[in-house]
Amino acid sequence: MNPLISANELTALLQGEASPVLLDVRWVLGKNDGAQQYAAGHIPGAIFVDLETQLSGTVGEHTGRHPLPLPADFEAAARSWGINPDSRVVAYDDSGALAAARVWWLLRHAGFETVQVLDGGLEAWKQTDGPISDGIEEAAPGTVMFSWGRMPVVEFGELESLTGVLIDSRATARYLGIEEPIDPVAGHIPGALNRPTTDNLDAQARFHTPEHLQASFTKLGAQQPGSAAYCGSGITAAHQVLAAASAGIELGLYPGSWSEYCSYPQAPVATSDEKHRN
């Protein structure tokens, strides 16, 4: 299944006999008004998903800022959204899929295949004159049962033995250590190549074509088996995995990302520009 769906395709899907489960993953780093934004206007039938509480686990000393949720907790959350074994799920946000990609990745990691992300998000929906509802919607409980561990994952201790390319998905200034507004240490994992997540999107916050994305990832060598992505806390790196998947490339995810990595005092840090490494 194509991991992306257009607003026009979603419209047609909603007019069919079996409507998809719609998930509104409204979240922006540093803000906590996602639920309010959802209540003020969302695609009819969409259920709000809280990234901080439903798509993340408990933060510990070496977990990073957004550790993966426990499998049982994520399954319970998915059931509360109304997901059944035969459901089709479409997730969206209003931030270029930077948040929606997280629930796409987690569902895939849990063995659920029929999930897509709305390309262009809520704005693309509005541009097709799609209806908007307000208030809070609740779903009839679902019965989905998950497995776990279906997507390639890289842990801290495996970083040095990667067989492919490691992509740092953060803004270049953070990668270079010029600035670090969030985590206590500036810089990047030695050997990592910088490709900001924003490179996946065009001026309308829609994903570039598969051909464009494939060329961009291939330029870094990310088509090599064993390649992976990280970011600050594992959220926007899932966007890299999603973009790569739309171009037919499999990337692993380092869930703890920089916020976990820099919590280890012994972990080496680089600040040079390695993006043109051979």
Active site (catalytic) residues: 231
Residues 153 and 237: their CA atoms lie apart, in Å, by 12
Spatial separation of the C-alpha atoms in residues 100 and 108, rounded to whole Å: 13
Bridge partners, 92 (sequence order): 24
List phi, psi (to 5°) of 240: -65, -40
Determine the Cα–Cα distance for residues 160 and 57; give it in Å rounded to an integer.
25
Q: For residue 49, give Cα distances in angstroms to 137, 180, 241.
A: 11, 28, 20
